[in-house]
Amino acid sequence: MLSLTLKEVIHQIQQGKICAKELCEKCIARAARVKELNAFTTETHNIAKKQASASAERQATHATLPLDGVPVAVKDNFCTKGIRTTCASHMLESFLPPYNATMVEKLLNNGACLLGKTNLDEFGMGCGSIDSIYGPVRNPWNYHFVCQSLEEAGLQLGSKESHSMTYSQLKARGIHMSAQSRSKVLRQTREAEKMTEDVHCGSDWYIAGGSSGGSAVAVASGVCFGALGSDTGGSVRNPASYCGVVGFKPTYGRLSRHGLIPLVNSLDVPGIFTRTVEDAAILFNHLGGHDVNDSTTVSDPFHKQDLPDISIKDLCIGIPKEYHSPGISEEILNAWKWAADLFEKAGAKVIQVSLPHTQYSIVCYSVLCCCEVASNMARYDGIEFGYRAENNESTEELIAASRHYGFNDVVQGRIFAGNYFLLRQNYEKYFMKAQKVRRLISEDFQKVYSKKVDILLTPTTPTEAPLYSWFSEQDNRTRTAEQDVYTQPVNMAGVPAVSVPVRLSQAGLPVSLQLIGQSFKDHDLLTVAKWFEQQVKFPRLDLSYLD
């Protein structure tokens, strides 16, 4: 049941083949089994059960809603009424919003069941989901689950009751063992406890990507069938690439940002995680459209569209030469070349194109990001919003103490940099110049598309998911500059993009590629991505052995 796609689950619920309550219980059970991946900051299982019960009642009367009974997760920077929304920061650790973000409201109004809020880099600043007050998110691929080892320690005694119990638990239950069995269980228990200690003390594992790593892991591990993330410079597509799921960033203005706690207002876009491209299109259909609460959403009518099966013989696929950059791995490069050949053999025209200002994009992004961060974070002073320190010596001391504890080093660093760029003597030199370069980056995409190029094909990330030990050797700023090199130009231009998993690397990790479309032609992009996905037949992660 948990291996189904969102489309299949919707169909079976509406046909009465799956009970919404049973599906919810299975997802909650899976969440417990993969808890050590640390995908969630707040679990809302009781709320999800009530929502599933309501779905089951509608199911019984054949009055189901479009997403009735579908378990979903939401990144912990979307406001959820009465449910803690923390941005993985001490600053908002106890924040209970009085309203739902528009994206959350649309999910719930369509019958979805909210399993919880997912982990992220603090305030969405990062590309690894390791800078969170709740600890890092772990990638489920090639991960050795501790719960599996604990079960192995309690097995092989011939008693069903002894399944997954340690020696102390067996003794407390009054289960008697021979000396040989007791010795074996004690040894296995010590090994399992050592493994538990190793994992929680930093034993090596692959990162989930970020900043929406929790949402990507929740979908990849089978806990839910869709999840919301936010994408400022690649924060949906990056973790989607590392975790082997589909990550869709729509055109800026297609999805409402109302209730999404802002990082960079001019770049933030709500994003969608699913297992298939068609699933992403289903959620997009139910989430898109103008929102009176968000003036940046376009007022043009939003039309729901199914993704047709197409022939790509009339398509022109562009390969940006600037994306063949230093640091790209052989695995990614080979997959990119293979995909270009795949399109060409299927009849599409594949040509090399140029986006000449790409080389300046990451620097431009860094300046604009810090400037808007400095502005957005100014509200968290311990007086109007956010954590309040107990320092009452003066207003200045109170604000300084509140922000010192409330923000981590990454957030503080971006605030300092942003305020420096915005100083009167630096404003023209940094902020205004970055805005001009951003316009040039956007025009690069417009020029390419004006030459009858339909879709751009690029890598999503320079490598497959790196190990935590390697990733944490450098600071957040350095890693972000490395990992977002292919994704953040898309945000600068405001165009849609989707990351699609293609194959597994020699190490057994997902390798993904990015398809970039034209503004407001999101469904056209997803249609091509669906065709591509059907050709590659990526093997999704199967964790059914944990159940």
First CA to last CA distance, the chain: 11
Q: Is 26 a catalytic residue?
A: no
The token pair at 528 is: 């091509």
Burial of 113 (C-beta count, 10 Å sphere; 0-12/13-18/19+)? buried
Ramachandran class of 96: left when φ > 0, alpha when ψ lies in -120 to 50, beta otherwise = beta
Q: Which residues pair with 78 in a beta bridge?
A: 260
With CA atoms as reference, report the closest residue to 241 among 527, 533, 459.
459
Q: Which helix (H) or strand (E) holds 273?
A: strand 269-274
Q: Catalytic: which of 89, 132, 162, 211? A: 211
The token pair at 57 is: 């009642």
The token pair at 88 is: 């993985």
Q: Is 75 a catalytic residue?
A: yes
Task: Quote the CA–CA distance of 368 and 222 in Å, as a whole number.
Answer: 36
Place of tokens 């001019």: 266
Q: Is 436 a catalytic residue?
A: no
Contact 290, 298 (CB under 8 A): yes
| Helical residues (DSSP H) of 288-347, grouped into ranges | 330-345
DSSP 3-state assignment of 510?
strand
Q: Catalytic: which of 75, 117, 249, 530? A: 75
CB burial string 433-443: b at 16+ within 10 A, e below: ebeebbeebbe
With CA atoms as reference, report the closest residue to 363 among 441, 262, 470, 415.
441
Ramachandran class of 323: left when φ > 0, alpha when ψ lies in -120 to 50, beta otherwise = alpha
Q: Catalytic: which of 129, 221, 235, 402? A: 235
Q: Which helix (H) or strand (E) holds 284?
A: helix 277-287
DSSP 3-state assignment of 117?
strand
What is the set of active-site residues? 75, 211, 235
